[in-house]
Amino acid sequence: VQNTVQHVLLQAEDMQQQIIRETFHLVSKRDDNVCNFLEGGSLIGGSDYKLIYRHYATLYFVFCVDSSESELGILDLIQVFVETLDKCFENVCELDLIFHMDKVHYILQEVVMGGMVLETNMNEITTQVDVQNRMEKSEGGLSAAPARAVSAVKNMNLPEIPRNINIGDINIKVPSLSPF
Amino acid sequence: MALKIVKGSIDRMFDKNLQDLVRGIRNHKEDEAKYISTCIDEIKQELKQDNIAVKANAVCKLTYLQMLGYDVSWAAFNIVEVMSSSKFTYKRIGYLAASQCFHESTDVIMLTTNQIRKDLSSPNQYDTGVALTGLSCFVTPDLARDLANDIMTLMSHTKPYIRKKAVLIMYKVFLKYPESLRPAFPRLKEKLEDPDPGVQSAAVNVICELARRNPKNYLSLAPLFFKLMTSSTNNWVLIKIIKLFGALTPLEPRLGKKLIEPLTNLIHSTSAMSLLYECVNTVYIDVNTPPLPSLSLSLCLYLSLPPQLCVQKLRILIEDSDQNLKYLGLLAMSKILKTHPKSVQSHKDLILQCLDDKDESIRLRALDLLYGMVSKKNLMEIVKKLMLHVDKAEGTTYRDELLTKIIDICSQSNYQYITNFEWYISILVELTRLEGTRHGHLIASQMLDVAIRVKAIRGFAVAQMATLLDNAHLLTGNMQRMGICEVLYAAAWICGEFSEHLENPMQTLEAMLRPKVATLPGHIQAVYVQNAAKLFATVLKSQEGNTDSTAAQETSQLMIDRLPLFVQSANLEVQERASCILQLVKYIQKLQQKDVEVAEEVSALFAGELNPVAPKAQKKVPVPEGLDLDSWINEPPSESESEDEQPKAIFAKEEPKHSRPRREEVDEKELAKRREARKQEQANNPFYIKASPSSQKVYQEAPGVEHIPVVQIDLSVPLKVPGLPMSDQYVKLEEERRQKERAEKKKKEKKKRKEKRSGRGKKHDSGPESEEDITPAHQVDIVTEEMPENALPSDDDDKDPNDPHKALDIDLDKPLADSEKLPVRSHRAAEAPKSPTEDGDATSQEPKKKSSKEKREKKKDKDRDRKKSSKHKKKKQKKEKEEKEKKKKKKHHHHHHHSDGGGEEAVQNGTVEEEEPLPVSVFFCFLPLTKVYDIQGNLQDGSQVVVSVIFENKCDSFLKSMEFNVLDSLNSKLQRPEGSGPHDGLTVPFQLPPGVSNEARFVFTVQSIIMPQKLKGTLTFIVKNEDSSTHEKLDFKLHFTCTSYLITTPCYSDAFAKLLESGDLKCSSVRLEGVNMPFHHLLARICFHHHFSVVERIDSCASMYSRSIQGHHVCLLVKTVSIDAKCDEPTLLGNVLDEIKQTFSQC
């Protein structure tokens, strides 16, 4: 387990899955009106670590941090991350994240690097992400993916439980999927 | 080939991309695993293709599958392939995959070093950024060592985007390669004042992270942080700084006083709740630490808040409806508790109230606080509340947490707060009623500890334990309660060991020999059997006193009847003990039948008392002098013998689960043999009650105990063990007792006062009872744990030697030593110890074929010289510029003939040499000593230059006591160790046998770098022959060219353009006469000799950039025949241009 902030996607595969399952189990059974902090079990690295999460509709954003981070600061950071996602995906919805996990990672990498907070300024983050996306586009990209993703949305039901706690549904501004 | 490409792109149309994969997985909910395995097969096919786009797509999908928990380490090499693509799109995919899948044991990481280095120095900042991000996730000690210097250079990159990433990743580098901390620290410190807020924030982040673990090394940074705190507006940075001060104030009390004002200002001005919280937290907590009581007072006065009110403020937070604030309030409270327990204790009601909160996080916090709040006075009350919660608690995790907390609270600091141990024992007994707890062993060890160490309580404890044993079926009836049956282990042992306290030992003995005991885990059964024997001894003793001897004989018969059940146990420990005791009892019975009194002798078996031993006692026993535990007593057996390691393997496999060793696995043969022997013995034994054939069969088939018929009692209601006193009664009793005591005391006082009536008439109010007033109910003698007599006290027991931060506890204020440099991928480092064939140019001793005529001539020259020099040691000095040129040729020569180095090329750390020109300046030769030197600006300090000199002994004598001395000029001074005079020489820290070379480094302080300079120096040394030794002296000149102050620094065209536009730079130009070499050679030469880097090249025109160690920018516009240059220091520029001109005039 790395220092400070950590996106819950490190470690050996089986261990990693166990952590994610456990974390999801812990977080998902909590009410909305309880606090956003969960003290660390042995799985996430002991007493110095805690889980800090935010809940948006069917989506949980969970950060695992050690005591060098400010709790409320991390809550703010999650908000920044989510708002950035919203900007980069233009009214983000759950399926954006599910189908573009790679892009979510690229955005997250501009916020958190190697387990440490890199940037907290949303404009700076979006600028850098945009420039990199433009570079990708100028190189021809990997494939014409977005069009197909949209068609996929049409014939699909939303999953009851997100596969990964970091994927799911952010319905901050436009929760409805009806336009598709 | 063309066909292949077409085919590749057609294939691609049918390939799944990531989105298709995700959709596919979602459509195959029922047979997901199968679907994914076909996908993985497809991916494997795709990875086999040459088309990089196909590969990248495959790797992208793999990254997703890895996230779902599939192992993709088999594709590690393909990931590296994609990482090394030149297209950003693919590179990014590759690095993302690497950051997700690579870890320290991934072996292909070794292959990435050069790729990463290339990407780090890429002209595209996003290539660099992607590489940095990826590296931050999988950096290994090797990568950290090899790339530390590259990353450090990036910390001064022109783009803030790269600077901030480079700064941040340094933390990872420090962790993996602690030696880099000191050399990198000055620059890191510099970045605290970077104009870009992002870079500044990253630097603060890294330093705070470092300081958190080793605060004392960072005290000197306090003023800088203080400045930052008052100037920064970034909340994130401010929070970090305040947290850092929190770690520093305990070490430097004066700091706290200074902090008051800015913190108060922040409290008044900030709007961010998170920041406000950190301020409050720091002001109230960190400043209140013990070394600063006066400060905390003044601080509190300043804020017009007496200490209790600090907590009051937190109370407001805790009472807030916002659960987050409530949580943080409790968290802060627990920090205050450590320093001001009293002020927190008055808020017990609030904390207890929090135990009822629906939020588990808050309840756990409250529990944590309670631990520190207990006192003799309130312990019983608090524990009573907790016991209520235990009953109410849903979910085993929280209940288990409660249970451990209760035990922690009670047992803390050697049972300091327990006044009534009867109460505690009954609490423990009540806790055994918990269903499904995992902490049976914890309760058991507490029972044992209390019974052993508190002598006064033994009688009571034994009675309680006997009841427990009697009701053992209640604890073991339900399989779910297996965890709790551990307490029977303790109960049995206590009853056996202290059996003299038992009221009815016979009844307990019977309880311990019930057939149902055989369903308990083996290690508990073993304790049962052993302690039954102890009890038996006690019972015999009491019975023999009576006239009727039949009672004693009946007891023996009971043992003989019941023990065979244990003899059959599958657990070896149980079996062994049982059969041993069975034989003993049979013998006793024989004696009893002859009317011999045996009780005395039987109880002698168990005489003596067991003392508690401290857990660390064993470790603290000092090793006697002269005892070497690692040396062999006998010669180790030869290899062939050790082949037969079967018995060893058995022991290795064995893992004692519980405190008692269990030996379950024994050679099947051996077991059979023993069984046979026992059967034989049993058959011959007239007292043995033979088992029926059927039960024998059961035993052979199933070594377990499942086949023994047991009536399962399923109790879903919490159990009330009959006859057990409830702990509540003790609470009441204790209160009564205390009241009585108080009353008595008052009476006494009154009496006293009556006696001294004439004295002060003022009535003395006894007030609330204080801690000291409470006397323990029993005269409690808590036996301390034993320690070996001459144990060495040591406090380092709890430190984890594997903590990576321990290695980072480095003094950062000490000036850098010469040896402390980051490993630089350069000739200098690689060639230092090299053979003369590489560096020594023509001075090589080994006869070597030289290609150029010139060189041959030189060699002759030198050979002649050497002949002379063997006697005269005459120095031969060459024109530096010539040498320089030659060195360059030499370098290339070397590069193409790697094997020439005679095995020493291994030192080349596998890097490609042409990639980056090296800052090699001047080059000298001496005979018999060869000295090669290289001047390099110190990156960390603008006024330091490091000169590394390679000394090579070319004569046949031994050279020693070498002393290096330079005549200082006003501008340049040799750095000498403290205390030595300005003319003292520096001792070269090695001696040179014939033919050997070694490198020494000397640091010079240079004030102005705008002018080239020559320093005169001497080297003195002693030449030792077999029969004589002579003292010799060698003069030399060190030439500090302006070029040697330049450091190759990458620069990008936009920054370069900005620099030129800024107008601060002075212009100058030089014509290159008679140079006819290809343009790219010309550029390479400038790069190589003068430490420039190419910014941009358009046809036969190129812009170049370099930076001096003092930060001067030098920009060149190079055309085939002329160079236009700009620099903010005209003199420096002029000199650099002269040097460049000279370089070219020589070819």
Q: Report the gap between the CA of A173 and the closest CA in chain B (Å).
A: 24
Average pLDDT rounded to a whole number, residues B291-305:
32
Binary contact (A75, B324; C-beta < 8 A):
yes
Task: Count CA within 13 A, CB hemisphere, residue B785.
Answer: 11
Q: Which residue has the higher pLDDT, B575 or B247?
A: B575
For tokens 């100037």, name the residue: B231
Lowest mean pLDDT among B271-280, B587-596, B996-1005: B271-280
**CA atoms of B270 and B79, how far apart (whole Å):** 47
**CA atoms of B262 and A128, how far apart (whole Å):** 34
Per DSSP, the three-state class of B198 is: helix
Q: Are strands B1013-1024 and B958-966 parallel, antiparallel or unpaired?
A: antiparallel
Condensed to tens digits (0 to 9), the pLDDT of residues B4-51 reads 544 444 444 556 788 888 888 888 888 888 888 888 888 888 888 888
Answer yes or no: CATH 3.40.50.1010 is held by domain B1045-1145.
no
Contacts of A154 in chain B (CB under 8 A): none
**CA atoms of B944 and B405, how far apart (whole Å):** 59
Q: Are strands B1093-1098 and B1101-1108 parallel, antiparallel or unpaired?
A: antiparallel
Q: What is the pLDDT of residue B167?
A: 93
Indicate the residue type of B653.
K
Inter-CA distances, B62 with B9, B12, B72, Å:
20, 16, 7
| Closest-CA residue to B91 (of B143, B139, B140, B134) | B134
For residues B163 and B192, the answer to whether their CB atoms sit within 8 Å is: no
Condensed to tens digits (0 to 9), the pLDDT of residues A119-165 reads 888 888 999 999 998 888 888 766 544 333 333 333 333 333 333 33
Binary contact (A152, B19; C-beta < 8 A):
yes
**CA atoms of B928 and B911, how far apart (whole Å):** 32
Q: What is the pLDDT of residue B583?
A: 92
Identify the closest residue of chain A to B365 by CA–CA distance: A39
Q: What is the largest CA-CA distance in chain A?
A: 48
| Closest-CA residue to B450 (of B409, B478, B418) | B418
**CA atoms of B467 and B475, how far apart (whole Å):** 12
Condensed to tens digits (0 to 9), the pLDDT of residues B927-951 reads 334 444 555 555 555 677 777 777 7
Q: Which residue has the higher pLDDT, B739 or B46?
A: B46
Percentage of chain B modeled with pLDDT above 70? 66
Binary contact (A145, B19; C-beta < 8 A):
yes
Output DSSP code: residue B454: B
Interface test with B, best of A24, A44, A107, A119 (most B CBs within 10 A): A119
* pLDDT above 50: residue B302: no
Q: What is the pLDDT of residue B639?
A: 54
| Closest-CA residue to A7 (of B1056, B100, B1037, B130) | B100
Tokens standing for residue B802: 């594997």
Average pLDDT rounded to a whole number, residues B548-567:
84
426-485 in B: which are within 8 Å (CB) of A?
none
Contacts of B94 in chain A (CB under 8 A): none
* pLDDT above 60: residue B892: no
Fold agreement between B928-1042 and B1045-1145: no
CB contact A21 to B (< 8 Å):
no
On average, the pLDDT of chain B sits at: 71
**CA atoms of B1053 and B1060, how far apart (whole Å):** 10
* pLDDT above 50: residue B905: no
* pLDDT above 70: residue B118: yes
**CA atoms of B577 and B1064, how far apart (whole Å):** 94
Helix, strand, coil share (%) of chain A residues, nearest 5: 45, 15, 45
Query: What structural domains does chain A harbor?
Result: 1-140 (3.30.450.60)
**CA atoms of A36 and B898, how far apart (whole Å):** 62
Q: Is B850 exposed, middle or buried (0-12, 13-18, 19+ CB in 10 A)?
A: middle
For residues B339 and B328, the answer to whether their CB atoms sit within 8 Å is: no
Q: What is the pLDDT of residue B476?
A: 62
| Closest-CA residue to B1070 (of B982, B1145, B979) | B1145
Q: What is the pLDDT of residue B95?
A: 92
**CA atoms of B869 and B851, how far apart (whole Å):** 26
Q: What is the pLDDT of residue B301?
A: 31
Q: Report the gap between the CA of A85 and the closest CA in chain B (Å).
A: 18
For residues B1057 and B1119, the answer to whether their CB atoms sit within 8 Å is: no
Identify the closest residue of chain B to A6 by CA–CA distance: B137
Q: Report the gap between the CA of A19 and the closest CA in chain B (Å).
A: 11
**CA atoms of B581 and A49, how far apart (whole Å):** 52
| Closest-CA residue to A8 (of A47, A42, A58, A51) | A51
CB contact B104 to A (< 8 Å):
no
For residues A86 and A172, the answer to whether their CB atoms sit within 8 Å is: yes
Condensed to tens digits (0 to 9), the pLDDT of residues A34-62 reads 888 887 666 666 677 888 888 887 788 88
**CA atoms of B263 and B252, how far apart (whole Å):** 17
CB contact A114 to B (< 8 Å):
yes
Contacts of B88 in chain A (CB under 8 A): 132, 135-136, 139
For residues A69 and B208, the answer to whether their CB atoms sit within 8 Å is: no
The CATH class of B928-1042 is: mainly beta
Please give the radius of gyration of chain B, using alpha carbons only, rounded to the nearest integer.
42
Contacts of A35 in chain B (CB under 8 A): 323-324, 326-327, 359, 361-362
Lowest mean pLDDT among B149-163, B405-419, B813-827, B945-959: B813-827
Q: What is the pLDDT of residue B774?
A: 55
Beta-carbon contacts of B1034 under 8 Å, excluding residues fewer than 6 positions away, are: B873, B875, B926, B929, B1018, B1019, B1020, B1021
For residues B958 and B993, the answer to whether their CB atoms sit within 8 Å is: yes
Binary contact (B168, A114; C-beta < 8 A):
yes
- Other Cβ atoms closer than 10 A to B79: 31
**CA atoms of B486 and B484, how far apart (whole Å):** 5
Tokens standing for residue B310: 């600090």
Chain mean position to CA B992? 42
Identify the closest residue of chain A to B171 by CA–CA distance: A116
Q: What are phi and psi of B1015, to 5 degrees?
A: -115, 135
Inter-CA distances, B823 with B115, B461, B707, B979, B990, Å:
18, 67, 69, 30, 21
Condensed to tens digits (0 to 9), the pLDDT of residues B274-286 reads 555 555 555 443 3
Q: Partners of B929 in the beta sheet?
A: B953
Identify the closest residue of chain B to A113 by CA–CA distance: B133
Binary contact (B132, A113; C-beta < 8 A):
yes
CB contact A38 to B (< 8 Å):
yes
CB contact A147 to B (< 8 Å):
no
Lowest mean pLDDT among B79-83, B629-633, B1123-1127: B629-633
Tokens standing for residue A63: 């950060």
Domain ranges for chain B, please list them.
396-605, 928-1042, 1045-1145
How sure is the predictor about B784, in pLDDT bands with cuts at 50, 70 and 90? Answer: low
ipTM above 0.85, yes or no: no
